[in-house]
Amino acid sequence: MGRLAGKTALVTGGGQGVGRGIALALAAQGAAVAITGRTERTLKDTAAEIAGRGGRALIVVGDVGERDDVDRMVARTVGEFGRLDVLVNNAQSSVQRALEQTSYADVELAYRSGPLAVFHAMQAALPHLRASRGSVVNLGSSAAVQGEATFAAYAMAKEAIRGLTRVAAREWGRYGIRVNVVCPAALSPAAEEFFAAHPEKAERVLSAIPLGRMGDPERDVGRAVAALVSDDMAYLTGATLMLEGGRTLIG
């Protein structure tokens, strides 16, 4: 049956990488999962994998940077499955440049697809999460926590998401809704492409991880998210979990 049997989850950016891993792990624990994104092909692939394992999946093509699309994602999920218990805000677009080269357009892209998308999704989901006393997981990043060079727009967006998460945790606790952040380090297609282009950076990153490896999107990140949104973690809210094998230690 799984610890999430009878529950419904919505995962943005669920067609590949960490989002795909989270969607697969939630489905493995019994949740019906709606996955959203801009590329229908990757969404179909993830949905087919979930169905092949005996789970239930819905795909909704759309752009989290568009408020109408976000509203439609939530409405389709509830229309198909009848409820919403878990919202995972994973989707994020950004470009990587030195601070002095970062443009307003770069920042706007990161904010529209990041904190504004999270803000819109949380507002759209709130009535349904109140009914289910559900859980929200927002994706942050150690690049923002640590202030890594060349991540100006991305770091701004991700730390804005963490701030929004803490506010929501305080305001929505009275509804029984938990809101947390996870900062993962996993071998998504984007991470693999970046490391292939910057092998020296990849070596430095791996050497800084006490567990000695990058995480697996499903086994290391997805299963942790599944545990986080389950009743096993019912007393945790407003937290930032660094799922990075010990690379970033914060107090």
- Output the tens digit of pLDDT for each of the chain's 251 residues: 799 999 999 999 999 999 999 999 999 999 999 999 999 999 999 999 999 999 999 999 999 999 999 999 999 999 999 999 999 999 999 999 999 999 999 999 999 999 999 999 999 999 999 999 999 999 999 999 999 999 999 999 999 999 999 999 999 999 999 999 999 999 887 778 888 898 998 888 889 899 999 999 999 999 999 999 999 999 999 999 999 999 887 75
Q: What is the pLDDT of residue 112?
A: 98
Cβ atoms 30, 4 nearer than 8 A = yes
125, two tokens: 């989901």
For residues 89 and 144, give the distance between their C-alpha atoms in angstroms, rounded to a whole number: 17
Taking the C-alpha atoms of residue 108 and residue 116, their distance in angstroms, rounded to an integer, is: 10
CATH architecture of the domain covering 8-185+215-240: 3-Layer(aba) Sandwich (3.40)
- Catalytic (active site) residue 154: yes
User: What is the per-residue pLDDT for 251?
Assistant: 57
Question: For the chain, what are the domain ranges?
Answer: 8-185+215-240
| Backbone phi and psi for residue 7, each to the nearest 5 degrees, phi listed first | -100, 160
Q: Please give the Cα distance from 184 to 66 (Å, whole number).
A: 25
Which residue type occupies 135?
Answer: S
Selecting among 104, 111, 154, 235, the annotated active-site residue is 154
Q: How many residues does the chain have?
A: 251
